[in-house]
Structure 1
Amino acid sequence: MGALSIRDVRKSYQGTEILKGINLEIEKGELLILVGPSGCGKSTLLSMIAGLDTVTSGEIRIGDRVVNNLSPKDRDIAMVFQSYALYPSMTVRENISFGLEIRKVGKAEQQKIVERVAHTLQIGHLLDRKPSQLSGGQRQRVAMGRAIARDPSLFLFDEPLSNLDAKLRVEMRVEIKQLHQRMGTTIVYVTHDQIEAMTLGDKIAVMKAGEVQQFGTPQQIYDNPANLFVAGFMGSPSMNFIPARVEAMGSGHGVRLESGANTYVFPAVSANGKLKSWEGKEVVFGIRPEQITHKVESGLVGEHMATATMPISLTEPTGPDTLVLVPVNGREVTCRVHPAHARAPGENMDLMFDLSKAVYFDPASELRIA
């Protein structure tokens, strides 16, 4: 039995189905990310795990217990909110120990727990301050400390970093990952930020309109997206989607690409014959920006590489890389190149396409073909 098991969970409000049969399971010590755009149902699902909202049908298990009808206090969980939810009149020490006080934990034991938590989160020097004297990052650490002090079987994080500025968000993301590695806690973490999802999660559930579009490890979801939504949502910059006609090519098939005055047919090396029934039809050819880069010496080119000369329409320096945009089949395609090799807008550039991880989608159903 996993640490958390969600089986065919549904939620309806006034006849409208909000969650449409969610099935997820994680083991003890895993960090599950629920990610998706606003309104996809991820926070509703978290509230149902916490007991703050009811389940219309289905089953939620925490450990070996079905918790559908248990109150939040009986589920052995701790929750960290984006708003921190600290008591303004209490010191940091009092905020962390408040839950222990309610549970009638002895004063000496409370002190030990608070000191251990403060050491873990490096907030020992803040224990006698009040929330108004803390920065946003410090407040979030205190909120996490209050949850850790309870030593629950399951931690629930509801977009805990969304109120922080970009730099602090990165720092806190690292701290949460390190904390998880040190403590081995089981966490369900809600976010709309795909970078948080990729960097923090052991498992990711990508949600849209009340359904799980794909569930797997970060690398599985990034390399093998199940549909156009997942492919476009996960990754920054997002995957390029190029409408392209399938053509016969030797014993296999390829996709026809036009850019400037040039036409190419790139072999569909990762499709394993699955495009045969699509010959003469249009598919969506998906390729990530890092799989299109500047041309290197021929001796370094792998067997699944294809080269093309394309006109540059825009450049975006990012520091370590430069993003260049080129027109392909009427779409602007983003490529990631070394700054030293980038050409100026209006110039042609020799580019190299790594076709080994290219993917192909049905333009009507938006599902993955190959």
Structure 2
Amino acid sequence: MSSLTVKNLKKSFGSTQVLKGIDLSIEAGQFLTLVGPSGCGKSTLLNIIAGLETPSTGEVWIGDRNVNRLGPKDRDIAMVFQNYALYPNMNVRKNISFGLEMRKVPKGEQDRIIDRVARMLQIEPLLDRKPAQLSGGQRQRVAMGRALARDPKLFLFDEPLSNLDAKLRVNMRAEIKELHQRLGTTIVYVTHDQIEAMTLGDRIAVLHNGEVQQFGSPSDIYENPANRFVAGFIGSPSMNFIPCEVTGSPVSGYGLTMVSEGREFVLKTGADLQSRIGKTVILGIRPEQITHVMASHLEEPFTCAATCPVHLCEPTGPDTLVTTSLNQTKVLARVRPDAAGLLGQDMELMFDLSKAVFFDPDTGSRLGLPLDRAA
């Protein structure tokens, strides 16, 4: 396994600039997920790392080697594709061993590698079957087995679970994570699914319009999004964005004016919003930070309750999503099922602004760090 460094990588197709200066670096053994909407450039970036595309400018380093001038076969990588790319006329054993044969690995060593990989992925009973006789999940295991047989410095995954059904995706996601923890391999994994990105990656790069919007750990990106795009893209359900006016002062503390069904109230926040007093900001608050009232939590700083209308209830099993409205904006709250209000009636909701974030309504850029972090 090796580290990976991408320096000021740019890529244009004709007059269209797909990558606009990408800088990323991960250590050997780390799991990097590239996540973003369709067309953001994540697959192009992966193909450049693999050597399948040539960058317009910039450098790719695998370990201590600049691989810009090396073809895919000389980069010591293994890639798992979205469509599995198995040879239909070969059985599973031959699919796994084909790359080993091309590199002239001795037959005895090939057999040992195939047995090890088959045990690891629990595909021993499938070795004599052809791809057409396998389910989607089994084909994905074979594709992973072929990559693992290479024992490369870097594994590249291009949306490998997108063709699987929801339950199988969850199972395969867990298997990939367990495999990484067991082998300690260096992995770059492309996905448009932010849940996959959050659960799999040690490091996440959120891409949009060919640029890295934020690069960091899953917890940092979730709790401290760099801008409104990242805040809205990461998290399910998505973060609430509520326009509101800032009131108060550094002495009395800053407040956010809210109106719900004609009732006005103020939420207190610990963010430094001095420059925004009397102006509108966008409050970003996640559904789990708006919930049913718990008296013990109301004593905590920047937590308060307010009466809000119930427009919709969506039971999910462990909790219920309640839709209400604030400042003429639809807002989603996450509550305990037995605490959910009745449709068309009011219920008391508790707002925890200790982890709320704020954005400029015009640019979407982040505003006002919490006071304990502003220094």
TM-score (norm: length of structure 1):
0.97
Cα distance in 2 for residues equivalent to 1:342 and 1:74: 59
How many residues align structurally? Answer: 367
Structure 1 residues 315-330: aligned runs within 5 Å:
315-330=313-328
Unaligned runs of 5+ in 2: 369-375
- Equivalent residue runs for 1:335-346 within 5 Å: 335-346=333-344
Correspondence list, 1:160-309, <5 A: 160-248=160-248, 250-269=251-270, 271=271, 273=272, 275-298=273-296, 301-309=299-307
Within-5 A mapping of 1:354-365? 354-365=352-363
Q: Which moved more, 1:255-264 or 1:202-211?
A: 255-264
Distance, in Å, in 2 between the alignment partners of 1:264 and 1:368 is: 24
Cα deviation digits, residues 243-294 of structure 1 (max 9, x gap): 001111553211111112321111121x1x2x11111110000000000110
Q: What is the deviation of 1:306?
A: 1.1
| 1: CA distance, partners of 2:16 / 2:318 | 48
Measure the CA separation in 1 of the matches of 2:59 and 2:252. Answer: 50
Matching residue's letter, 2:267: F
Distance, in Å, in 1 between the alignment partners of 2:80 and 2:339 is 46
Quote the Cα distance in structure 2 between the aligned partners of 1:88 and 1:293: 52
Shift in alpha-carbon separation, 1:81–1:114, aligned structure 2, 3 A: same
The secondary structure found in structure 1 opposite 2:367 is: coil
Match of 2:373 in 1: none
RMSD: 1.2
Displacement of 1:304 = 2.7
Residues 355-364 or 296-305, more deviating = 296-305
The question of 1:334 aligning with 2:341 is answered: no
For the residues of structure 2 that align with 1:80 and 1:299, how far apart are their CA atoms? 47
Q: Which amino acid aligns with 1:366?
A: G
Which blocks of at least 5 consecutive residues in structure 1 are unaligned? none
User: Is residue 2:33 matched to residue 1:33?
Assistant: yes
Q: How far apart are the structure 1 equivalents of 2:232 and 2:16?
A: 27
**Equivalent-residue separation in structure 1 for 2:148 and 2:93 (angstroms):** 13
Bigger shift: residues 141-150 or 125-134: 125-134
Letter in 2 for 1:292: I
- Percent identical residues: 65
Q: Distance in 2 between matches of 1:79 and 1:21?
A: 24
